[in-house]
Amino acid sequence: MGSEGSRVVVPRNFRLLEELERGEKGIGDGTVSYGMDDADDIYMRSWTGTIIGPPNTVHDGRIYQLKLFCDIDYPDKAPKVKFQTRINMTCVNQETGHVEPSQFQMLADWKREYSMEDILTQLKKEMASPQNRRLSQPPEGNEEQRADEKGLTPERHQRAHAVWLQAWEQGNEDVDLHLGDAYYSAHDVWLQAWEQGPQRNYCLAAEAVLYARSAVEPSKYKTYAWGGV
């Protein structure tokens, strides 16, 4: 038997399985939720969280998505937390979306018993705090995604698609060489939005270019047309 005062340390994987089960069952009133990104990742490292902004604040009704990365040393060390949706908060780096531990006490003073649910719940409370509740937010802050690895936002995808489609309609045979990347970037955004579910409005511009593309080369692109995935 262990000595008095000793405590059982739950192994990392068991702990994450407990968190996964709790996340799948639903948390509280549903304004905070999370789930694992890749069911095949045996290390259960990458997670997506969602926070619905608290009422009577500038965040009211907005849906924020976050990424939480639980490395091998979790829960002994805090996960990395990053907002995918743009938000103006004192604890969030406005260039990267990362939650800065130095500005967010839960991450700064991390304890092993803390969980992803605790992080999301505390971030929601921070949104309602005096220093954050009335901060001006980016336009359409609940829907605007950060630039991808190529520096493209949904708005840029839409513009790229408009140029691509105009050139295609005018019979520009070089459209594939000059603007082909618009299609591939659009597909990336469309697929990501489809998988994330709540933000399927991003499908509109991206799916349009997929449909046009499938009309040009149906044998190659038909699986990416509307309803094909």
DSSP characters over 100-157? PGGG-HHHHT--TT--HHHHHHHHHHHHTSTTTTT----TTTTTPBPP-TTS--HHHH
Confidence of residue 197 (pLDDT cuts 50, 70, 90): low
**What are the chain's domains?**
12-127 (3.10.110.10), 154-224 (no CATH)
pLDDT (average), residues 51-55: 95
* Nearest alpha carbon to residue 70 among 103, 11, 30, 115: 115
Predicted local confidence at residue 139, as pLDDT: 77
Predicted local confidence at residue 29, as pLDDT: 85
β-strand partners of 85: 145
Whether 182 has a pLDDT exceeding 60, the answer reads: no
When the pLDDT of each residue in the chain is averaged and rounded to a whole number, the result is 76
Predicted local confidence at residue 177, as pLDDT: 39
pLDDT (average), residues 43-61: 95
β-strand partners of 63: 52
* Nearest alpha carbon to residue 68 among 81, 77, 58, 57: 81
| Residue 13 or 153, more confident | 13
Instruction: Report the distance separating Cα 123 and Cα 117, nearest Å.
Output: 10
pLDDT (average), residues 54-63: 94
Task: Kindly report whether the global pTM for this prediction surpasses the value 0.85.
Answer: no
Confidence of residue 154 (pLDDT cuts 50, 70, 90): low
Instruction: Report the distance separating Cα 5 and Cα 186, nearest Å.
Output: 57
Strand (E) or helix (H) holding 83: strand 80-83
Whether 141 has a pLDDT exceeding 60, the answer reads: no
Q: Is the peptide bond before 75 cis (omega within 30 degrees of 0)?
A: yes
pLDDT (average), residues 24-29: 87
- Structure confidence by residue, pLDDT tens digits, 90-134: 999 999 999 999 999 999 999 999 999 999 999 999 999 999 999
